[in-house]
A = this chain, B = another copy of it.
Amino acid sequence: MVAGMQRLRPVAVRLAQRSCWGARRYSVKAQPSWTAGAGAVTAIAAACAGIGAGFGLWIAQSTERGTAVAAAGASTEPPLGSELARIVVPETIPHVDYESEPKPAYYTDTTQPMHERMEALVLDLQDRLVEALETVERSKRFVRDRWEREDGKGYGISCVLQDGDVLEKAGVNVSVIEGTLTPGQLRSMRERNAQTAQRLGADQEYEFRVAGVSVVVHPRNPYAPTAHKNYRRFEVYRKGHVDAGPVMAWFGGGADLTPAYLFADDARHFHQTLKRACDAHDARYYPRFKAWCDRYFSNEHRGETRGVGGIFFDDLEDKAPEDLFRFVYDAGASFVRAYVPLVARRMATPYTQRERNWQLIRRGRYVEFNLVHDRGTKFGLMTPGARIESILMSLPLAARWEYMNRPEPGSPEEELQRAVRTTADWAA
């Protein structure tokens, strides 16, 4: 595997250097401890074994920068709406028109192993999204951390922005990890479906390799929706037989939209953009992955979906890796178009304490989903040595629980509540 990592690292370095913010801005740090690394790997495996999506690939980063993030703000609640006067709506947002941008080398370079092309893709998606978000958020730039595993078996790049004028809390994280599947991970993977159980022996040892990007954005303006995205490729090798290629490999991921106030146009734009990316590869994908998303991102205990949905899929290996990679490229790249214009459209809308309050209550629901239902988060939290800050980074900066809060009949708050208690065909 070390050979694999040696092949693999230069790619990251190259991409890091050509990435929009430049390598000098990284802090290259070792893990505080091996266990943290081990926890991270387990957590990754959990997320990437399709045990969860919300938690995705948050893993260990250097703490100094992290502290800088906290120190950078978030210690006070700014006066309501005080940011509005400072907000500048950009004329254009980069990477929205992803289809007409020239395809990067990794897109077509079939001489590279798929895991290296996936690594290149997730780093590329991270660069594009951060660049796009920084055109709407002028008050702060993302704080970037680059970390490497002490054992050399992986690295990650985490981009965090907290307490900005536009983005109350946002994280865009990449990680590229390899390791040996623990018995627990192998068991949970074999339990997922009969097909996997056939291909992975209960008494065999396996190594895995995963590359993924995971995103959660919580804007400050109550009219601007929260969104999540997560794409990953997971490869499993028989231990000691890496050169024989993966025994199993699949793609997983998705994106979903969580507004506090319903704008049908926004929901339609989000879904139609994702549908277009899906349809370019398989007309069956969008309907299937849309329904999967509604099922997965559900606060069953409230009879509500987390938001207005999007797409969600896992264990995707129904086509040639080349075809699936191109689908994931489009699905991943389409997120900038699906989401960032919605933030730009709503971020300067005046609002009052009423809207802020409702937003905080809806964020409470987001917390409920991530802590109660999201299998990846739960698995991660139960993982000894897992990096909690990373796992819980998807939680909003602030949330609220009011006893018996009931939206007034006919109010916009009730309209949102109705929207999350039914599922609609937003792409129609």
Contacts and interface: CB of A to CB of B under 8 A. Distances in A.
B67 A406 contact: yes
Nearest to A358: B75
A268 interface: no
A403 to B, nearest CB: 5
A151 interface: no
B404 A66 contact: yes
Interface stretch (A22-30, A45-53, A110-118, A388-396): A388-396
Contacts of A63: 404, 406
A75 B354 contact: yes
Interface residues of A, number: 45
A93 interface: no
A427 interface: no
Interface in A253-301: 300-301
B388 A302 contact: yes
Contacts of A399: 367, 398-401
Interface string A396-428: 111111111110000000000000000000000
A378 B378 CA distance: 12
A156 to B, nearest CB: 15
Contacts of A397: 400-402
Interface string A176-213: 00000000000000000000000000000000000000
Interface string A339-361: 00000000000000110010010
A67 B406 CA distance: 7
Contacts of A166: none
A351 B388 CA distance: 29
Nearest to A162: B403
Contact of A378 (B74, B372, B406): B372
Interface string A57-71: 000000100110110
Contact of A395 (B353, B381, B386, B401): B401
Given A301-B388, A388-B301, A403 B160 contact: yes
13 contacts: A66-B403, A70-B404, A76-B357, A162-B402, A300-B382, A360-B398, A372-B372, A372-B378, A389-B404, A397-B402, A398-B400, A399-B399, A399-B401
Interface of A: 63, 66-67, 69-70, 74-77, 160, 162, 169, 171, 300-302, 353-354, 357, 360, 364, 367-368, 371-372, 378, 381-382, 386, 388-389, 392-393, 395-406
In order of increasing CB-CB distance, the 5 nearest A-B pairs are: A66-B404, A301-B381, A371-B371, A395-B401, A76-B353
Given A364-B395, A397-B400, A398-B401, 12 more contacts: A67-B404, A69-B403, A69-B404, A70-B404, A70-B406, A75-B353, A75-B357, A162-B403, A171-B403, A300-B382, A367-B371, A372-B381
